[in-house]
Amino acid sequence: MIKDVIVALDFPTREETLSFLDQFPAGSKPFVKIGMELFYAEGPQIVRDIKARGHKIFLDLKLHDIPNTVKRAMAVLSRLDVDMVNLHAAGAGEMMRAALEGLTRSDGTRPLLIAVTQLTSTDAKALKNELLIDVPMAETVLSYAKNAADSGLDGVVCSPLEAALVKERCGADFVTVTPGIRFADSAAGDQKRMMTPEKAGKSGCDLIVVGRPITQAEDPVAAYQRAVTDFLG
Ligand code: C5P
């Protein structure tokens, strides 16, 4: 697995997104994440435009529906030539296997497919009282991750604090994609369980997702380069 830093393009419009990317020198093409806000605002054309500029793209739309619907939606996303997409592991094995089928192009290639286990916004109380899941959070995360691995998925989104455990349960090649990354001197914002890029690099994280510490930095290009250098060591 190639380790890399993914920049979260959490911008509301095409203009803001492209003017952010315009700051990077011609030879520097960060791997980027497009989430629901930008995708729903601008539609699939923003994906094509960013791809045409030479960036790898993680399309973070977290699909969760019946297997046939997810399979057909994944086929559409695969045609956008993105590099990585995701779904909710809560959709269960049949949905995850259908997603893989939909993603696979006629030449046998496909984007990486990763699963969201439990959202980090779900706390222990909501897990027990609302979702009626009566085992500890860490156990459901690892069990959902194992189910994703057994269904043929490539990895999971998880906290950097869980990455090593996920690797232990699902294998060294199972990809860990980890948000919740902060420089030692950057603001936490709403993130609660954080790690520095340097520590993440030594803790089983394959792809770190970094948003505000780069997008809100005074010098975003320098912040990106700092994250890459710290993470890759
Ligand atoms: O700005 P910040 O570095 O916190 O951005 C992290 C990115 O990762 C955001 O796009 C956020 O939605 C996403 N994310 C997260 N925690 C998760 C899943 C996704 O922070 N559990």
Mean per-residue pLDDT, 201-210: 97
- Report the predicted TM-score, pTM, of the whole model to 2 decimal places: 0.96
Looking at the predicted structure, is the pLDDT value of residue 109 above 90? yes
What is the CATH code of the structural domain delimited by 4-228? Answer: 3.20.20.70
Q: What is the pLDDT of residue 54?
A: 97
**Which residue lies with its CA nearest to atom 16 of ligand 1?**
179
Looking at the predicted structure, is the pLDDT value of residue 49 above 80? yes
Q: What angle do CA 156, 98, 120 make, to 5 degrees?
A: 25
Q: What is the pLDDT of residue 120?
A: 84
Would you say 6 and 211 are in contact if contact means Cβ atoms under 8 Å apart? Answer: no
> From the alpha carbon of 190, which atom of ligand 1 is closest?
4
H helices present in 104-162, as ranges? 124-129, 137-150
Q: Both tokens of residue 99? A: 């997603």
Looking at the predicted structure, is the pLDDT value of residue 186 above 90? no
Distance 106 CA to ligand 1 centre (A): 33
| Residue ranges per structural domain of the chain | 4-228
| pLDDT over 90 percentage in the chain | 93
Burial group, residue 83, by CB count within 10 angstroms (0-12, 13-18, 19+): middle
Would you say 201 and 232 are in contact if contact means Cβ atoms under 8 Å apart? Answer: yes
Residues with catalytic function? 62
Q: What is the pLDDT of residue 113?
A: 98
Residue 21: how many other CB atoms lie within 10 Å: 20
Looking at the predicted structure, is the pLDDT value of residue 80 above 80? yes
DSSP 204: T
Distance 107 CA to ligand 1 centre (A): 33
Average pLDDT in the chain: 96
Q: What is the pLDDT of residue 1?
A: 62
Q: Is 92 left (phi over 0), alpha (psi -120 to 50) or beta?
A: left
Looking at the predicted structure, is the pLDDT value of residue 188 above 70? yes
For 125-149, write each residue's pLDDT tens digit. Answer: 999 999 999 999 999 999 999 999 9
Would you say 13 and 45 are in contact if contact means Cβ atoms under 8 Å apart? Answer: no
